[in-house]
Structure 1
Amino acid sequence: MTLTISYEPPEGGRPWYADVEPSESYEGVINAACALWKNRLPSDECIIGRYLARQIKRHGEIEWARISEARFIQLVRDSPEELELRLELDTQIGRRHYRETSTPSSLEMPPPILNVDSNNPSHTWPDGPTSAMEVDTNNKSSAPMPLTPMSLIDTQNQREQTDTRMNRAITHVSDSSPNPDPNPGPTPAPSPTARNPTYEAGLTAFFAGRFDEARIRFQLAADECRDTGDAYQEAECLLRLGMTCRHLKDYPNAVSHLSSARRIYDSLRNCQRELLSCERSLARVSEDQGKYEEALLAYQEIRSNARAIASQTEEAWCDYFIGRLHNRRREYEDARRHLSSAITTSKALNNQEIEAYATEESGHSAERQQHRDRL
């Protein structure tokens, strides 16, 4: 029997996985997983509760439900092959921090793109995961943010981003000429605007895991941008608001806000990468709900669109996400094929981040396939 424990960091990023020795000791399994992640979890004084949860289907949607020790023992005894549970932590609000002695991992370290001049068009900001941190911004932020697979999609295309911003400026000038086009296209995306304190307060709350507060801040910031007519920044706020709702498991509102952001980006020019960011976040919502087929189709479409705009970096990330999703579906051959493609492309791009994540996920594919073949 294989017992896998996962943990989804509240600040976003891909879930962590630990393969632990099967045991009927509820506390023993939790201790084993926490020991493997001891330098990445919140410090002990911040944790007030540790639990295991399993997936259940409720009202047609996949949810995570915490289980008791007795139920855990029953699941271990009744699961002949594979059992996957999730570690959930209750932490003290306002005191959540990582151990000072920990070695910064790629999921915790703030990327070098922070604290930059907001007028520098070559800088981008990450999301997510996740989770979702996927689009560029016009705001300067001092909030520490995790570096996740999604966070680096645009950073590898800084030169492309610079060209895009320059094209926006040129387009904006041409549209204001005395003889405008009688059949104008979509509204051009505005040039970088002033920093938005409400939005930045939302980012600070988001990266501290205070998602209820972040939700309020991002909604206020979106309303402010709507009142001032700043469509591009309104879309940024709505995108982040949708990501926050996903963390809160408010999936209907997550889809609503992300779709609104997508509509705004679609009305602007030269926002292809921002549109892809919305699509990735929507795909993540589907994946979180256990709608794997829907998420898979979305990732495949994003990859095709990335190929259409000649973004090899985005295409490689999509191969990684598709491979990871195939692993979740226990389709290990398909997983390894896409992960191999991600590794090949990342090596050609000299993108060590994609290569590292894809290589690690490919290792999981090989291990699980070997375990299944031995049964």
Structure 2
Amino acid sequence: MLLLVTYQPEGREELVAEMMPSESCEEVINSACEMWAHHLPPKDEIIARHLERQPQRFAELVRNNAVEELELRLQIKCAPVQSLNEIPRRGTRSPSTLELPLPATPTTCVYNNQGPHPSSGTSFSDMRFDFGAHLLVDGNYVFNTPFSPASPPASTPQPNAPSTSSAAPPSFDKGVSAFLAGKHADSRVYFQQAANEFHERGDLRREADCLRHLGMSCRHLKDYVIARSHLLTARAIYESLGPECRQEQLRCSRHLARVDEESGNYSQALMTYQELLRTTEEEKLIIQHTWCLYYLAHLYNHMKKHKEARSLLKDVVNTSQHIRHGEIEAFATEEAGYTAEREGHPQLAMDCYEKALSLLKTHGEGKWIESENRVKKRMDLLSRSFPAIFRPFATRKWSIGAKLLNPTS
């Protein structure tokens, strides 16, 4: 039996969580309140808590397993207050010393799937394109970096290794490995376990990190309601930790926009991306700003605004090369290939995919399995859609080998 508990914070979006069935109504309430502590009013204001279904029927429903799914709404009754300024602020913990790898690090393995990917089942036979010969180089842009065969490695130093006493639990590492391999059902389980462990330790920062990745896993599984709930909770924790977690807050907002986009709410996603672009520009967060441009380009492709997507992708690729951020460059180059397919330039699309695959291999060091496989699949589908232009990969490899063995042929 699946037990769903919902809660509607005042003036904010509804939260949803999957709870373990229990015959104790109070136990479920306590678990929900503990999980959503950052969304609830201060404890000294709460005078009653209850679930909307009758408490006397709660144990009977669970015991008899009368339904496959039971949804309950958590209600909080608060004492009236004269002024918000009189509400005592709850204390917050300092961020943990353990930092997740930054996206700009060439060996990073946590954030490689931040970039969005169109469905791999798209047909390429009706695509149109008008990039022109200089897709990624434009003198009118700030960063006029040539579209070189490979970007130089990022120079960002590696984050300090965590101490043994504060090391992440094995479940977190397993979640990362599963996530990068595209095994999102497994990563969802592992990240939930890790979040529970950090919660028991009282480590808010790393609990939020796990919840953010948990939300990303749920989004990949198209469980958008649960994904939104985890991302909102993670963002609330980051906000409570202060400005040191500012970039993590923005990441959560980006992933929430992805949830809106994938669930078909393009207008809300567009508003969020535009607001994030203004914020990141004002705060001079160039990496976050570049990610937002890329995400907006992906949204434009979904909206069939390929010209707008192409224009943004020029900026994204040139900027990512300038700041030596191979991950963004790889995803943006792949997206440029997708745009090229949609606008009918298969050769340019293949060039972009080959470039993207090279970047993924270089910067992912073999860990970005799902991303590499996705690009390879695109290349294979493209070659099959245009056999007159592209020979199948196996034939192309054999041909190259034959020329090496018979240079005069």
Structure of larger gyration radius: 2
The two structures have a TM-score, normalised by structure 1, of: 0.47
Bigger proportion of residues as strand = 1
TM-score normalised to structure 2 length: 0.43
